[in-house]
Amino acid sequence: MKTDQALFDFEKMVIHSLDLIGGIDRDGYIQYVSDACKQILGYERNELMGHHYSDFLQADDLFDTMQAIENLNGDSRRTSFENHYIHKDGHVVPIRWYGVWSEDDQVLYCVGRDMTTQKLGQSRLHESEQRYRALFDNNPDIVFVENRQGLITEVNQQVVKTLGIREELLVNAPASSFLPPDMAAVNERYLRQALQGESMRFEFEFEKNGKVRIYDTIKYPVIVKDEVVCVQTVAKEVTSLVHSYNTIKRLAKRLSTIFESITNAFFTLDKGWNFTYINSEAERLLSLDREYYLGKNAWRELPSEINGAFYQQYHLAVETRKAVQFEAYYKPTDVWLDVRAFPSEEGISVYFDNITEKVKARHELEKLSLVASKTTNGVIITNSARRIEWVNEGFTRLTGYSLDEVTGKIPSDFLHGHRTDQKAFEAVKEKMNRCQPVSFEVLNYKKNGEELWLSVQVNPTCNGKGEILGFVTVQTDITDRVKSQQELEKLSLVASGTDNGVIITDANGLTEWVNEGFTKTTGYTLSEIAGIKPGKLLQGEETEEATAKMIGEKLRLGVHFNALLLNYKKSGEKFWVSMDITPVFDNVGAVRQFVAILKDVTFRKEAEANLLKMTQDLYAKNSDQQQFTYLVSHNLRAPVANALGLANLLTRLDKNSELYEKSLSTLSQSIAQLDTVLRDINTILTIRDSKENLEQELVDVNLVIEQVLSSLQEPLQNCGGALFNYVENELSVSVNKAYLYSIFYNFLSNAIKYRSEERPLVVRIKSFGNSGKGTFISFSDNGSGFDMQRANNNLFKLYKRFHTDKKGRGIGLYLVKTHLEAMGGHVEATSQVGVGTRFLMYLPKA
């Protein structure tokens, strides 16, 4: 009975096992498989049984699997192997098999475990080990590991590089073998403490090739199962930081001495902005009574300063916990103050000086400081023996040499080369030794061997006895200028022979050279235009601003382009010039110069202008002719036909009849309409005939607006409207006064007539521009507006109307347009139904 129960329990275990349990015969066919096949391979048992195991095996594993099974067949010992099966959904499943051959059953019984999770973990562990190894090997700091016996077990590449000792000579050796005795003792002491489980941080110095290097060193204990198995050391070089810190300490001591000798105004505020201290100078400058203000709130006692410069800067310092320095005007005592505020846990400390007399000078100094901050000049400070003590970053950028490389060296020893003219320095040497500043130009060489032309200024520093203490040398790179001069000498030979003007400018557009053709064309010589932008002399009042801006933009972009521009000669004569401008680039692709070829095309432009004017005149006359033809054919014919028909009718009617009276009244209306049309014809012909001989005068625009407003004051008031005039005072334009009056009268009367019934009428008149360039005048209202799409091109045509609910003839806007065109101007309109209408008219300069 116990045997049956045990067998039953075993079968349950097989059925519910998470591992794959099965058996294959000698030929490899699956005889049995447990239910775990569904979870591991995605197949039901009946889908596997009877099939050859290779039907589901990854092809690459077939040979090794066959070899393993062959080794198991006939061998009753258990063994294991791994292979990969293809899941039903296509992915690969790694499986570790444990198998044993049963000679009695002639079956290989196997247990397979899904190794996917284990493989993933192994992969991640391997990846983690590789990351650690990469971090260890490539760390820019020195990293090495010591075991409990004090022997080095691992070193990174920085150790090998720093010490210059091969890795195999370092591993299994104590650190004392490559450290100086005193540092070896320090390392040993901290190693023993780290082996006790405590991280240790210390500094040690290491000398190599005569230079002392300082390292910030940390020893970390590596603990496994609560036991320190080794110690990892990380040493970061901080030589430059230590030197900087020492320099700062020396400067701080010097500054402390300076501050002690200077009497600054000073006060302190606590966290609640209450005065806690005020010195006598602050009391004097701010005109404060120390006895009264101490303990008082600064902003309650000085409310005028709230939200001012002092208030904002002090709050900024406290909020950011950073010191602030600023200049501000203190109105109560009429002084300018240079303020420095320093926040702390207790509040804020404020130092300040009276700089009222220095503000203007300080502003100038700020401008100079801005220029100096952008300079690329090299600066060298040497001792009396001309040996370098310090160089700036500009020197490193110019020459390629760092401060460490040149400290203690004489500049000429490494900057001069085979083409350097030694005479340039010898010529000023005697003067320089007399403690006088000197300047000269010399050819030097960069670290990479590249030639470098420099303008050199040497300023000796001397004591009271005239003895030289050192030198401050400022170097300016003039390589491009020297090469440009050399290239210009070649180019001038070519350009001097052409009749066209040639200009060469630097990258900023300042003239460097012009040829004789330029002088013949413009009248300006090289001495007159050198160092000046050509446009400053050549462009004038009528030069097209848009083209000038386009030229500036193209020059900024550094591209080749052509342009046509109206310029002015030295004599004031206008001339048209065609320009072809080409940028010249340096070795790094930056624009170095521009070369412009100028050709006088005045004759061609004048011919084009005359032709354009003739075309425009013909078009205008043809348009007038069409309008007149329309007027005669459409508007004159109707009233004449009506009058003739009614006249004939009246001869046949009884004079006492009602029809006779009605017809007579209609005839009278037709004749009145005819009279109106004839008067319109007369107006149109008068405008057309006066175009060539129109009298124009300088007219005050505001005066004309007042006259129009006076004429239409009553209807404007009756409708509750208002007119706002924003035309600048004393604006005068050269126009026909009657025409200008007619234009404003038509605009305003139309605004009143076609106003909106939903809101009071508001009319605004504004001016833009000036009489020197032409004037734009805007006339806008908030009336009923009209459909611009429907109006299309008919807006300013004769007898075109867009409001059928109002009486009108459709001639007002036509007169506005013809009046403006007669005076050389034009008009545009924009409108929106229910919003209003805006007219923009342009009047040319006098």
For residue 309, pLDDT over 80 is answered with: yes
Nearest-angstrom CA–CA distance, 743 and 736: 11
Q: Which pair of structure tokens corresponds to residue 329?
A: 């005007």
Distance CA 221, CA 192 (A): 10
Residues 12-36, mean pLDDT to the nearest whole number: 85
Query: Which of 133-142, 402-411, 768-777 is modeled with the greatest confidence?
Result: 402-411
CB 164 within 8 A of CB 190: no
Per-residue pLDDT at 722 exceeds 70: yes
Q: Is the pTM of this model over 0.75?
A: no
Per-residue tokens: 685:
């012909």
Domains and CATH numbers, the chain: 2-117 (3.30.450.20), 139-242 (3.30.450.20), 263-368 (3.30.450.20), 380-477 (3.30.450.20), 482-600 (3.30.450.20), 608-688 (1.10.287.130), 694-843 (3.30.565.10)
pLDDT at 771 over 80: no
CA distance 426 to 702: 76
Per-residue tokens: 235: 């040493």
- DSSP states of 206-229: EEETTEEEEEEEEEEEEEETTEEE
Residue with the larger pLDDT of the pair 684 and 24 = 24
Determine the Cα–Cα distance for residues 830 and 795; give it in Å rounded to an integer: 10
Task: Using only the alpha carbons of the chain, give its radius of gyration.
Answer: 49
SS3 content of the chain, % helix, strand, coil (to 5): 45, 30, 25
Buried (b) or exposed (e) across 34-67, using 16+ Cβ within 10 A? Answer: bebbbebbbbeeeebeeeebeebbeeebeeebee
Stronger pLDDT, 388 or 605, i.e. the higher one: 388
Q: Are the C-beta atoms of residues 596 and 560 closer than 8 Å to each other?
A: no
CA distances from 216 to 138, 719, 819 (A): 18, 89, 89
How do residues 553-568 score in pLDDT, each as one tens digit?
A: 888 888 888 988 889 9
The model's confidence at residue 420, banded by pLDDT at 50, 70 and 90, is confident
Eight-state DSSP code of residue 655: T
| Residue/partner pairs of 677-683 with CB below 8 Å, 24 or more apart | 677/631, 677/635, 677/636, 677/639, 678/636, 680/631, 680/635, 680/798, 680/809, 680/811, 681/628, 681/631, 681/632, 681/636, 683/811, 683/815
SS3 string of 155-212?
ECHHHHHHHCCCHHHHCCCEHHHCCCHHHHHHHHHHHHHHCCCCCEEEEEEEEECCEE
Q: Distance between CA 500 and CA 519 in Å, rounded?
A: 10
pLDDT(128) > 50: yes
Q: Which residues contact 650 (CB under 8 A, 6 or more apart)?
A: 660, 663, 664, 667
* More confident call, 661 vs 90: 90
Query: CA 505 to CA 512: how far, in whole Å?
Result: 5
Q: What's the token pair of residue 573?
A: 């004569």
- pLDDT for the residue 779: 93
Measured between alpha carbons, how far is 386 from 496 in angstroms, rounded to an integer?
A: 47
HEC profile for 92-108? EEEEEEEEEEECCCCEE
Q: Which of 702, 740, 741, 742 is nearest to 723 (CA)?
A: 702
In sequence order, which residues have a C-beta less than 8 Å from that of residue 611 and are 6 or more positions away? none
Helices 812-822 and 658-690 pack at an angle, to 10 degrees, of 20
pLDDT tens digit sequence for 791-817: 777 777 766 666 666 665 667 788 888
User: pLDDT by residue (tens digit) across 370-379?
Assistant: 443 455 688 8
Nearest CA-CA partner of 796 in 767, 768, 816: 816
Choose the weakest-confidence range: 328-342, 420-434, 694-708: 420-434
Q: Tell me, what's the pLDDT at 844?
A: 85
